[in-house]
Amino acid sequence: MAKRIDVSGLSAYYGSHKAIDDISMTVEPGSVTAFIGPSGCGKSTFLRTLNRMHEVTPGGRVEGKVMLDDENLYGSGVDPVTVRRTVGMVFQRPNPFPTMSIYDNVAAGLRLNGIRRKGELDTIVEKSLKGANLWNEVKDRLNKPGSGLSGGQQQRLCIARAIAVEPEVLLMDEPCSALDPISTLAIEDLIGELKERFTIVIVTHNMQQAARVSERTAFFNLAAVGQPGKLIEIDDTERIFANPSVQATEDYISGRFG
Ligand SMILES: Nc1ncnc2c1ncn2[C@@H]1O[C@H](COP(=O)(O)OP(=O)(O)OP(=O)(O)O)[C@@H](O)[C@H]1O
Ligand SMILES: [Mg+2]
């Protein structure tokens, strides 16, 4: 089931450097929220605080609260590995496990979760590849390496891998930036289908993409180089693009930035 994300007072550091400052926002379940803003304003950092990946970076530290429905992901006793299973992530560059077959790329996380029966694995692998709109292209070569696919196919394989373990939230960090326009459209269509089952957050530098895929858009910005990134505003995507509340948002989306 898709879950609501409720962030309050969240700051993240790399050692003594504060990368994002005091962010609060709500992400509605079963919707797509786009994160936009200039390079270095902390979009990726913030995204990684939503599944406890930030703390994997040496010196990475988080203050504040991230509620997933009624569970604080940073509560004492919460296992970060379980969090990462619940909140899946797709990265900017498709990163299939290079030596593994297409099938094993999708099955790896399931096996880690203790699913061993071949029949059950087959069923979930097929369902996940269908869910990622990749099944028809790969069903006759499931035992070939994932690295032999095109970039767009590899990214859909990574999406299949992420959804196979049935996360509740799917975080995507510029998932189309390495893809051609046709693969990009395929991923955007897929996001439209997946949002019924998952709460989706997508970081993108492509304004048209944000406008096409998201219901809500969050604009992040830096007051100055070296300052931490801040959330400037979050609102319905239509409103952010037509009539934002803050001048900096308008300057950014109309390209009059910096
Ligand atoms: N591993 C790291 N160690 C130290 N500082 C980092 C690390 N990763 C990011 N930062 C710093 O944190 C700040 C935010 O970076 P982040 O990658 O989150 O920005 P971004 O908005 O995703 O940028 P882009 O649009 O270029 O991807 C930057 O000042 C960056 O230099
Ligand atoms: Mg980034």
> Which residues are CB-neighbours of 197 under 8 A, at least 6 positions away?
2, 30, 163
pLDDT at residue 257, as a whole number: 65
Could you report the per-residue pLDDT of 177-230, keeping only the tens digit for each?
888 888 899 899 999 999 999 999 999 999 999 999 999 999 999 988 889 999
Q: Nearest ligand to the C-alpha of residue 18?
A: 1
Looking at every residue in the chain, the average pLDDT score rounds to 95
In a domain, 126, yes or no: no
Tell me how far apart the alpha carbons of residues 37 and 129 are, in angstroms, rounded to a whole number. 32
Could you report the per-residue pLDDT of 135-179, keeping only the tens digit for each?
999 999 999 999 999 999 999 999 999 999 999 999 999 999 888
CATH code at position 54: 3.40.50.300
The total number of structural domains that make up the chain: 1
Q: Whose CA is nearest to atom 14 of ligand 1?
A: 42
Query: Encoding tokens for residue 154?
Result: 């590899």
> Which residues are CB-neighbours of 183 under 8 A, at least 6 positions away?
150, 151, 152, 153, 155, 176
Q: Nearest ligand to the C-alpha of residue 219?
A: 1
Domain of 226 in residue numbering reads as 5-99+170-253
21 alpha carbon – ligand 1 mean position (Å)? 13
Residue count (the chain)? 258
Tell me how far apart the alpha carbons of residues 197 and 138 are, in angstroms, rounded to a whole number. 23
Tell me how far apart the alpha carbons of residues 118 and 37 are, in angstroms, rounded to a whole number. 45
In a domain, 69, yes or no: yes
19 alpha carbon – ligand 1 mean position (Å)? 7
pLDDT at residue 1, as a whole number: 76
In a domain, 74, yes or no: yes
pTM of the model: 0.94
Mean per-residue pLDDT for 25-32?
95
Write the CA distances from 191 to 38, 196, 217, 228, integer angstroms.
23, 9, 15, 30
In a domain, 130, yes or no: no
173 alpha carbon – ligand 2 mean position (Å)? 7
- What residues does ligand 1 touch, defined as CB less than 6 Å away? 14, 17, 19, 39-45, 57
Mean per-residue pLDDT for 81-95?
93
Query: Encoding tokens for residue 142?
Result: 């499931």
Q: Nearest ligand to the C-alpha of residue 173?
A: 2
